[in-house]
Structure 1
Amino acid sequence: MSYSPHVPTRTADRLVIGLIALLVALFYAAIYRYAINVPVVDDLLYIDSIRRITTPGTSLSEIARVLVEQHNDHRILLSRLIVLADYWLEGQVNYRTLALAGSLSVVGLLWQLYRIFREAALALWLVLPVALLLFQPSYQEDVWGVLCLLQHTVTLFLTVIVFRLLARPEPSAQMGALALGGLVLYSNSNGLFMWMAAVVLLLLLQRWRWAIAWVVAGVVFIGLYFGIDYTFVSKNSLATAAEHPGWIVKSILSAAGGAAYFDGRKWLLLPVLLVVMVLGTGVLLVIVVSWLRALLQTKKVISGPMVPFLGIAFVLLCSTGASALTRSDGGLMVPDRYQIFCISYLIVIYGLLILQLPKRWIPAVGLLGIGFTGWLWLNAWLYYGPLLSERYNRLVAEGMALKHYHYSVMSQTFGLDQDWQRRWEMAMSRGIYQVPDLPEIWGVEVALKAPPVVDSTTRFATRTERLGFLNSDALFFQQDTLPTPRFLFLRSVGNWYLLPAQSSPRPILKPWLPARGAKSMVVPVMLKPGIYQLGWIRQTPTGWHSTVSTQTIAISDRPQTTRATH
């Protein structure tokens, strides 16, 4: 397939490769710059797993049990193995290394999809929409959050390989698919649906013996998955979902179209909820029609390139349905940590259309795909790009809390559990995790030890809000006229807590607006009792400088009595 009567194919290929290389370079430059060796929420759980595995005298059976033990409704064998390997190589668990290494699975995904397109004799430029979807930051929580990265993105990459091997007739490929499928099964609960899809696809490929092998192995592996030390954590959600079936439909549609969701903002002058729902409906329609064609066709066996797209579509749809049943609350099911699956929906339907539509339509679909994904890529960088430095500052603040108090004051309440706190401190004392020695941490510590400048006029708006995902109250601070500093802080006579200063308002699509205003949050139950002054820290060419206001908040041993004073 030629690109243009005026552009030679080889020249066009070079242009496409150059553009993809530029997308990849920008994506990984951001990861290299903003990844930091600080755990976020569930990332902390890896530390205790490594502590138990590496404790002298631990038996091999206990090590195996810890590696496959349940995490929420999942077993996460692969991610624990990767974290353990990093510990053996570096002598500590380094979340920056894990983010950099794990994110290579995104390039792996592009390579696998490129190979599929080439196997189908498609032109190289048709891979551009896939690259535009993969190398943008809308799913940043699946890149910088190590547990999400290793459990979602890496296993998605391996799942594509499983289906590619499944499409090949050689016994070695089929054995490889079966072995890798077992690893994926015990690394993400999506592996359960991968197993179901594999059996159906093998039947469609008329490979009866291998279908039987997958069924027999599935009975054993899945039986062990649920039969040994398994508790269904989300079972209470099923009763709620049964009372509100409309929530489930809304959640499935919103997940299928969630790639176009940018925090509720209007794009192309259209209400974002309408865009998400219409896109989700179109995505589901393509998947359902593609599977019906595969199931009802009578003339020939489905082609090899179709197998991975059909398989991933099946996994995504079943996983979305399961998540809607166990997590749906009637809202849009597009949390940041699942955005990689929303992106995957678009990649899948693009592949299904390219492989099934008449050849004369393929250039039009490719150009439409480039237009839509280019629009999404631009919006993602405009919206999420400015947030990368804020996320970096949040991790610096988390690192400061871990260094001084051994728990976070913003994202989780593990510190309230005395047993967990004891285990975490044991792990840190053994050096399993070490707070990174960052210039920002040195600068902030120096600034907070020096006498601060006093500002008697600046006032912060404060409010307390219940956060369901923390099962706790959070205290929010906001100041709308302050030129945005790097950090906010709370300071009492004996304690201080660093908080990231997030911009408010965010000058998205309006770069001419001054970046003024700052906001942050803290979980007051994690603060030691006392009277705290509110302040902020700026970085200037001459160093770090702190300013403290005369506004205070009181934290008692019962945090619900938190109050602001002057």
Structure 2
Amino acid sequence: MNLVSVARTQSLASTRSQGLALVLVALPIVCFTVLLLAYVVDVPWMDDVDTFLNFIVDYIDAGSVSQKFDLLIRPNNEHRILIAKLITVVMYKLTGTVNFRWLIFAAYVFLLGTLYLFYRVFKTINLSLLAFAPVPFLLLQPQYHLTSTWAITALQHQVVVFMAFATMYLLAGVGRNRFVAATGVQLLASFSMSNGLFGWVAGAVVLALQRHWGRLGIWLTLGAATIMFYFHDFQNPQGNESSFTFFLKHPHLVFLGFFTFTGALFDFISTTDIVWRSVLPTLAGFVLIPTMLWLLWRMNEPLLRRYANTYIATDRTSASLWKRRYFFTGCYAFLMVNAVIVAFFRPRFGYSVMLISNYMLYPAVLVVLLYINVLSERRNERSVNRWIRVGLAVSIVVWGLSYVMRLPKIAFRKQQLLTNAFNQKHNNVGLGATVGTPFAELVNRAMTETVKRGIYHYPDAFYTPYEQQLSDAKAKSDGKLDVAINGQATDYSYIVNTVEGTTPVLVRPAALIVQSKQHTYLFASEVPYDLATFWSMGAGSTIKAEVINATLYPNTYQVGVLIPSPDGQPVRFSNRRITITQETK
């Protein structure tokens, strides 16, 4: 046998395997980056306005360092968001503006940081890069799009997950410097979102397992002081006291909610009724949680049996294993405290909250941890190879289905944000507020002031070439357009759709117009973003939109359509009208 030839063949196979691994690892990173570039827009939504724009105006106008510091750590609703505010200040200092698109990309850096932490842990297992490929597929997918494409949630959840896991990574190692660094990171995590406080619990678990009693005492003292300071000036309890009443009435929903939440990565039928939708995630939770408990027992049973610290190992491989075990244990503790809190406090808003996109980053990182953890505790090469194949298959299915099911929603939300920006710009209401409320006044004041100072600029959109025409248009029927209207003046909304055949073939996006003598509003058409229409690359031949009544001033409005077109007639009106009264539900 030609040994040189054999060596060359093996080297070629290894090179091809490495190339495939690089492609598989890079693919979800590239796709997720492209998704953000394509669908993230510079439009604030709801809490974004107060958190970023109102904050930066107050920060600029603050007369002293102490006032600026107070603004940085002051709570917004039930969270302090120090990192988000610091990023906003830095952005303003560098550019003179606040851009929500770039705030979201700043948060994306933290998400990539979490991926890097997972890689650092994986690297110590000494496996081929191909074994790491399921991790980016599981982590970088659009299931949690309301976290990854919304500034306020992105700069809370993605930041706190990275910081909590970074804290566990630092505590898992040895040395005083790592403990000091972990304490600093945990302090920042604590003031970046309320669930960052759970890191004190998780860190205490790691330090107790390591039997670092002195450090544990310091950690618990700092943690208690931080928690007391965090809540000392909260004025709005957010109605959480009613969660106890809900639990006493519906304990089974809280119990099931825990498993639904932890298995939410497998929410594959999100368009169905919540009862059927929650079946698969709940079953997945019943599998994932026992698996996690088994791994926790396997990892920590030697420590619980012995009085000596088994972390002190005689070889490098054993030391790396125990570092990983401490890291996994701390991360699981953080995620489980978070899951218990969500399951206890959130079902009162409706069981669908267990599967809301804002929270779905946490089930994703739980599955990633379990996958790497099993690799870390591997027994033999055959079982590892089988686990890697299962991991690749499951992760690619989850990744693919998440894009198929969620991308149309993300694309539609982009158009919703843009039309809401038009409504805010021209009617002083549109970014999540309702007419006549204190929040609407706050939003209007913040938007007016930041636009005046040049801090914020409304983005261009599909309607920009027709914006002047929309403002100047006089609602007059062209005699051809016809619409069907479902709803009443006192309902939450009107559902309006054009009658088939009365509009030309549509290009997407398009919008519904409602116009009175004083106001013109746009509402994004849903039709191009229906699941089937979106993926068939069609645009449909009708316009359908939901008109939220509480965002319109009381009046009678004529209904029309905006169909972007360089030729023909982009702005058209029907002879149908809707009426908005003060008595909206």
* Superposition TM-score, scaled by structure 1 size: 0.89
CA contact (8 A) 2:190 2:196 kept: yes
CA contact (8 A) 2:435 2:550 kept: no
Match of 1:81 in 2: 86
Deviation digits for residues 264-318 of structure 1 (CA, Å, limit 9, x no counterpart): 358xxx9643321111111111222233334432363471123333222222221
Q: Which moved more, 1:24-33 or 1:500-509?
A: 500-509
Query: Which of the residues 503, 515, 522 maps onto 1:498?
Result: 522
CA contact (8 A) 2:144 2:358 kept: yes
CA deviation after TM superposition for structure 1 residue 429, in Å: 5.2
CA contact (8 A) 1:536 1:547 kept: yes
5 Å matches for 1:155-554? 155-229=160-234, 231-233=236-238, 234-265=240-271, 272-297=277-302, 298=305, 300-301=310-311, 303-329=322-348, 331-332=351-352, 333-360=354-381, 361-408=383-430, 411-413=432-434, 416-417=437-438, 420-421=442-443, 423-425=445-447, 427-428=449-450, 430-431=452-453, 433-448=455-470, 449=472, 454-456=478-480, 458-463=482-487, 473-479=492-498, 481=500, 486-503=510-527, 506-508=530-532, 511-512=535-536, 515-516=539-540, 517-542=542-567, 545-554=570-579
Deviation digits for residues 111-158 of structure 1 (CA, Å, limit 9, x no counterpart): 111111001223211111111112221211111100110000122112
Q: CA RMSD in A?
A: 2.9
Match of 2:118 in 1: 113
Distance 1:353 1:156 in 2: 21
SS of aligned partner of 1:540: coil
Distance 2:95 2:402 in 1: 34
Q: Which amino acid aligns with 2:255?
A: V
SS of aligned partner of 1:71: coil
In structure 2, relative to structure 1, the CA distance for the partners of 1:199 and 1:439 (3 Å cut) is closer
5 Å matches for 1:61-140? 61-140=66-145
Q: Which amino acid aligns with 1:525?
A: A
Q: Which amino acid aligns with 2:548?
A: V
Distance 2:521 2:289 in 1: 47
Distance 1:538 1:245 in 2: 51
Larger-gyration structure (1/2) = 2
Equivalent pairs, count = 547
Q: Which amino acid aligns with 1:325?
A: F
- Please state which structure has a larger fraction of its residues in helix: 2
Deviation digits for residues 313-352 of structure 1 (CA, Å, limit 9, x no counterpart): 2222211211222211352411111121121222122122
Report % sequence identity.
Answer: 22
Q: Which moved more, 1:417-426 or 1:91-100?
A: 417-426
Structure 2: segments with no counterpart, 5+ residues: 1-8, 312-320
SS of aligned partner of 1:237: helix
CA deviation after TM superposition for structure 1 residue 514, in Å: 5.1
Distance 1:143 1:544 in 2: 37
CA deviation after TM superposition for structure 1 residue 422, in Å: 6.2
Q: Which moved more, 1:540-549 or 1:530-539?
A: 540-549
Deviation digits for residues 423-455 of structure 1 (CA, Å, limit 9, x no counterpart): 425633553642334152422314424577725
Match of 1:469 in 2: none
Distance 1:453 1:461 in 2: 16
CA deviation after TM superposition for structure 1 residue 98, in Å: 0.8
Q: Which amino acid aligns with 2:416?
A: R
Match of 2:39 in 1: 34
In structure 2, relative to structure 1, the CA distance for the partners of 1:543 and 1:289 (3 Å cut) is farther
Distance 2:518 2:435 in 1: 23
Distance 1:230 1:121 in 2: 51
Distance 2:433 2:335 in 1: 29
CA contact (8 A) 1:507 1:513 kept: no
Q: Which moved more, 1:495-504 or 1:481-490?
A: 481-490
SS of aligned partner of 1:38: coil
- Please state which structure has a larger fraction of its residues in strand: 1
CA contact (8 A) 1:415 1:421 kept: no
CA contact (8 A) 1:99 1:145 kept: yes
